[in-house]
Amino acid sequence: MPEVEDTSPPLLELRDLRKSYGDKIKTEVLHGINLSFGSGEFTAIIGPSGSGKSTLLNQIGLLDRPTSGSVLVQGKKTEDLSEEELTTLRGRTLGFIFQFHHLISALTVTENVLMPLWLSGLRDREVAEKAAKEALAHVGLEEKAHVRADELSGGQQQRVAIARALIHHPAIILADEPTGNLDSKTADSVFSLMRRFNAELGTTFLIVTHDPRMAERCDRVIRIEDGVVASDSWRPKGG
Ligand SMILES: Nc1ncnc2c1ncn2[C@@H]1O[C@H](COP(=O)(O)OP(=O)(O)OP(=O)(O)O)[C@@H](O)[C@H]1O
Ligand SMILES: [Mg+2]
């Protein structure tokens, strides 16, 4: 075998990704997306309503299967994986933050935060609670650990959602309008928190946003229009 130089695959790669919805009448929503994301990237995904941003994020998050094309995680084609392998990969590699945080209101903050650990099969309550405590300390909500989720403000709930996404130290966090339902001051603090995790832990972020101020503060901005990549640009370093 000839010696090869560094050919380590990108953290995440999309190859000619297509997605159609509908049974009898199929409508293609994503028309052949090619993108690649490296470790530690902090990227905004912008574009008009209905352009396919959430559909794209769902394919990347392995929440839904593409109609054709590939999603590769660390060079591995995910379409070849079984449901069980997909669940493991989702659990280990990906974290999710949504616009409406999807906390379970009747559970405490701690119980919500450690949910990904339960789902990934961890059964040691002590270990899980320690991890939850650490994650809550990261987002400044340690003192709310035993409060019911529905007793928190919107901004606090979104910080809990971030703690939950971070608890298993995923390589990639996918956020679909994470600050969409927050006032601008709270949105700023939630955004800063994601920025800090990106800097301190090297977590890769892909953030769908309608907020131009937020997109401006990302390192790379991808614009989706009518299911294609209309532009993909990097902000100058230090700018
Ligand atoms: N489950 C589904 N079944 C059928 N059509 C869908 C489904 N999900 C999305 N679509 C359609 O796909 C297109 C893209 O939707 P998508 O939710 O990805 O847009 P978006 O860019 O996230 O929009 P928004 O900014 O409003 O959230 C839309 O025309 C939508 O109606
Ligand atoms: Mg959307």
pLDDT in tens, 36-55: 999 999 999 999 999 999 99
Distance 15 CA to ligand 2 centre (A): 21
pLDDT at site 1: 57
Mean pLDDT, the chain, integer = 91
- Rounded Cα distance, 106 and 104, in Å: 6
Of 17-26, 89-98, 202-211, give the lowest mean pLDDT range.
Answer: 89-98
Ligand 1 atom at shortest distance from the alpha carbon of 210: 25
Whether 29 lines ligand 1, by a CB cut-off of 6 Å, is yes
Res. 34: pLDDT tops 60: yes
Task: Report pLDDT for 71.
Answer: 97
pLDDT at residue 238 tops 70: no
Q: pLDDT band at 6, cuts 50/70/90?
A: low
pLDDT in tens, 118-162: 877 888 999 999 999 999 998 889 999 999 999 999 889 989 999
21 lines ligand 1 (CB under 6 A): yes
- Tell me the domains of the chain and their CATH numbers: 36-234 (3.40.50.300)
